[in-house]
Amino acid sequence: MTKHIFVTGGVVSSLGKGLTSASVGMLLERRGLRVKMQKLDPYINVDPGTMSPYQHGEVYVLDDGSETDLDLGHYERFTNGPLTRDSNYTTGQIYQTVIEKERRGEFLGQTVQVIPHITNEIKSVIKRLADSETDVVITEIGGTVGDIESLPFLEAIRQFSLDVGKGNCLYIHLTLVPYLKAAAELKTKPTQHSVGQLREIGIQPDVLVCRTERNISREQREKIALFCNVPLEAVIEEKDKDFSIYEVPLSLYEKGLDELIVQRLNLHAHSLELDDWRDLLHRLRNPQHEISIAMVGKYAKHKDAYKSIFESLDHAGMQHYSQVRVVSISSEQVEAEGPERLLSGYDGILVPGGFGERGIAGKIMAIQFARERQIPFLGICLGMQCAAIEIARNVVGLEGADSSEFNKDSPHPVICLLDEQKKITDKGGTMRLGAQTAQLLPDSIASRCYGASVISERHRHRYEFNNAYRAAFSERGVRFTGTSHGGTLVEVFELAGHPWFVAVQFHPEFRSQPTAPHPLFAGFVAAAIQRRTERTESVQEVES
């Protein structure tokens, strides 16, 4: 019988429920259990695909093409259980399904209501993950307890334990224990209130994970236990990790969370092996090199907009015992101040994906700078398309070359819509989405990085490289080293005579794990380390 863990959050948002859920998943998986993870989001959008990254951070894409919440990125970085479109549901999707059923006449004669119709639908999407291949389903409820929009989800998970039996469910509530400077103490009252709210709805949490800046004393844990009606050993401290998010699973393990869960749910688990994970943190703490990467994107101040890219660079750094300092630079600022002033001194330049015309000129300037100065360059999706525009204008000599996303009347639309995309007018879920295979040319940077000739990578875009320009580009040193659909779509191009210039139409950042860094990020970081080393050596030569 599959067991269920529900993770809720209280007091404030941004407590790191996703990271905590992913860490729990990882600990259980490493104890030999088959885990599936799921996030239920209370907002009304059908998926986060149409939300601005300002609002919601990056849109994380799965193999099956679903556009999901960025917390699913944490799940995939920490665990190996397969994620599919069943791993992320929103209020919008739940209502859409119920309304479609109502229109089909499935509820004939009934008044369709939040309870039981919406709650039944929520329970059914949770049950969908429970099968004979799965020991534990971890369902994270987005939002904060007390929000109006979370209520149907909380009601559904309350009912769930009645349906499957109390002993088969475990409720973990994440709360905040803030430190008040003026009083010089940690305050437990917000936690008491938040658990109080859950209990009013009928949920008694089994475990409290308390986020805190400072150590919580035993007396304070006893107080929380007493007022919140949980045993002392189930009040787990989760102190802020200034150094790395990859410390979280280790610290939860040290506080005994995995053992507590295994006992409460009566799971058959073996002991835990974490040496490889400790080794990763050791590498992070003891780097042998330090490099700086400039990431030139639209959202310089919103780290969450490029979450998976930051993580992928960290993973590559761990592989090479290197500290990777990533500086987010707004492409509009590059346009205003020029690349020389802003980008000199970096060991690598990365231009990420994106939509819309704002900031494009600065991205193109950054790419020209990387190309001319021989700085390692990785262009991802829109970054690849901007590289094509830059090369078209400045190397191939195609004046006015552009993407038809930004200029419908360009004389040289080097990036354009495929015929099948031209007919589509809806915005949500209508791009080229999800995993697709590509062939790599032997003797290319890409095939050396991957050590393979066929790869599978995730996509999220509408526009493509325009094949009418392939010959002109090839004549000027562009190598189309990766293609898909029998060679018809450009997936990767590189530049002859440049040490490391790789532009990819897909999103490698959705495939990197700390224990398995993505080969392209690993190659990019290695090239940046090499450049740093060569520059240091040439400075030393000049000085001696």
User: Measured from the CB of residue 387, what is the shortest distance to ligand GLN in angstroms?
Assistant: 12
Instruction: Enter the tokens of residue 256.
Output: 């005994």
Would residue 509 show up in a list of annotated catalytic residues for this protein?
Answer: yes
Helices (H), 392-518: 419-422, 445-450, 470-475
Beta-sheet strands, E only, within 64-192: 67-68, 88-90, 136-141, 169-177, 179-180, 185-186
The residue number with the shortest CB distance to ligand GLN is 353
The SS3 assignment for 270 reads coil
Which residue of the set 169, 381, 386, 416 is catalytic? 381
For binding to ligand GLN (CB under 6 A), which residues are involved? 353-355, 381-382, 385, 405, 460-463
Rounded distance, CA 42 to CA 121, Å?
A: 14
Residue type, position 316, single letter: A
Maximum separation of any 2 CA atoms in the chain, in Å: 90
Rounded distance, CA 139 to CA 136, Å?
A: 10
* CB of 64 or CB of 86, closer to ligand GLN: 64
Q: Are 383 and 503 in contact (CB under 8 A)?
A: yes
User: Measured from the CB of residue 48, what is the shortest distance to ligand GLN in angstroms?
Assistant: 14
Would residue 475 show up in a list of annotated catalytic residues for this protein?
Answer: no
Q: Taking Cα atoms as reference points, which of 372, 356, 326, 309 lies closest to residue 504?
A: 309
* CB of 320 or CB of 462, closer to ligand GLN: 462
Instruction: Enter the tokens of residue 181.
Output: 């400077």
User: Measured from the CB of residue 9, what is the shortest distance to ligand GLN in angstroms?
Assistant: 29
User: Measured from the CB of residue 402, what is the shortest distance to ligand GLN in angstroms?
Assistant: 13
Rounded distance, CA 159 to CA 325, Å?
A: 47
User: Measured from the CB of residue 469, what is the shortest distance to ligand GLN in angstroms?
Assistant: 16
Which residue of the set 29, 58, 494, 509 is catalytic? 509
Would residue 507 show up in a list of annotated catalytic residues for this protein?
Answer: yes
* Terminal-to-terminal C-alpha distance of the chain: 71
User: What strands, in cross-sheet order, belong to the sheet with 412-417?
Assistant: 401-403, 412-417, 463-465
User: Measured from the CB of residue 46, what is the shortest distance to ligand GLN in angstroms?
Assistant: 19
Residue 72 φ/ψ, nearest 5 degrees: -65, -25
- Residues 6 or more apart from 55 whose CB is under 8 A from it? none
* CB of 353 or CB of 508, closer to ligand GLN: 353
Q: Are 243 and 14 in contact (CB under 8 A)?
A: no
Catalogue the active-site residues. 381, 507, 509
